[in-house]
Amino acid sequence: MPAAITKNTIITRNNKYLTSRIGKDMAMMDTDTGNYIGLNYVAACIWDMLGSPVKAEEIISGLLERFDVTPEQCETETMACMEEMYNQHLLLIIGSGPDSSGH
C-alpha cells in the first residue's frame, strides 16, 4: 500500500489530544477514548511544528536545521514517523500542495 503522506502532503495536528511535556518527550491523551500515547523528543518536535497546516517537506527542512543528520536519513525517518503518527490518528491530512517545481 502506498504511503498516505508524501513530501507535498499538507498535514496538521489532530487537536483532540491533550499534551504534556515530560522532559523532552511528550505524553498525549486522546480526549475521545482516554488512551495515552508517548512521543519521543523528535516526534514531539514534529508535533510542535504542526500548530498550523504545513507541507511535510517543511517539517523535514525544520528538523534538518535543528538536528545533525543527513538529508536522506532525515527524510526517511521523518516520513516514517509522520506516517506512523497518521496511522495513530495524531495527524490530519489537509490536502496536497504543489511539488518543489511548482506542479
Compute the distance between CA of residue 92 and CA of residue 85 in angstroms, rounded to an integer: 9
The predicted structure's pLDDT at residue 43: 97
The predicted structure's pLDDT at residue 81: 97
Task: Burial-class residue 87 by CB neighbours within 10 Å (0-12, 13-18, 19+).
Answer: exposed
What the chain holds in terms of domains, given with CATH numbers, is 9-96 (3.90.930.60)
What is the per-residue pLDDT across 41-83, written as a single tens digit (0 to 9) for each?
Answer: 999 999 999 999 999 999 999 999 999 999 999 999 999 999 9
User: Structure pTM?
Assistant: 0.87
% of the chain exceeding 70 in pLDDT: 91
The predicted structure's pLDDT at residue 100: 52
Which of the four pLDDT bands, split at 50, 70 and 90, describes residue 4?
A: confident
- Mean pLDDT in residue range 91-103: 74
